[in-house]
Amino acid sequence: MTHDLVDALRPLLAAEARAEAPAAGAEPGDLEQAVWLRLLERLDAEDPPPDPPEWLRRAVRSEARRTRRTSSLEQPYAVEPVDDDHRGPEELALAAAGGRTLREAVRRLPGRCPRLMEALLSPEDLTYQEIAGELGISQGSLGPERSRCLGCLRRLLTPEVAAR
């Protein structure tokens, strides 16, 4: 039943996501993926929507509103150049140890997370399009994938950070 439902809803979801994405400042693929995830969560909880097409339309609009709210609240962070000349040896040693801890934790991540995180942390400052091409995944999948990988990384690093 799940496959039939997905096949039946795929064209509607693609159309709704393409219609809502520009106003939300989002990629249609990101909206689609978020709605598929919400639908799968409902199906896993054995709470299928009574009217799937109507539920899907509402879910796309809801995700678009959430994306608009989130993007309006996000502030770009100011990148200040690091001046190693004014940092003492202790600060440099701690920074190097933190970098080693981060790289070790990234290598322990599951699945394709290590490659994704290495690409994101690359000094070459790759774009999402370049990273997607390098990893062979859709650009719309990068945001959710990055979020999952960062969650895993956070769980790996929490005990190490708390120990300090």
pLDDT digits (tens, 9 = 90+) for 35-80: 999 998 888 888 888 899 999 999 999 999 998 888 777 766 666 6
How much is the pTM? 0.47
Note the pLDDT tens digit of each residue in 86-129.
778 888 888 888 888 888 888 898 988 999 988 888 888 888 88
Note whether 119 and 61 are same-domain residues: no
Domain boundary among 29, 57, 73: 73
92 part of a folded domain: no
What is the residue range of 8's domain?
2-73
Note whether 69 and 6 are same-domain residues: yes
Note whether 67 and 103 are same-domain residues: no
Note whether 150 and 108 are same-domain residues: yes
Q: What is the CATH number of the domain that holds 150?
A: 1.10.10.10
d(CA 162, CA 2): 42
d(CA 17, CA 8): 15
Note whether 116 and 159 are same-domain residues: yes
84 part of a folded domain: no
Reading the block at residue 79, the tokens are 């990148």
Tell me how many domains the chain contains: 2
156 part of a folded domain: yes
Q: Report the phi/psi class of residue 88: left, alpha or beta, with left for phi > 0 and alpha for psi in -120 to 50.
A: beta
78 part of a folded domain: no
82 part of a folded domain: no
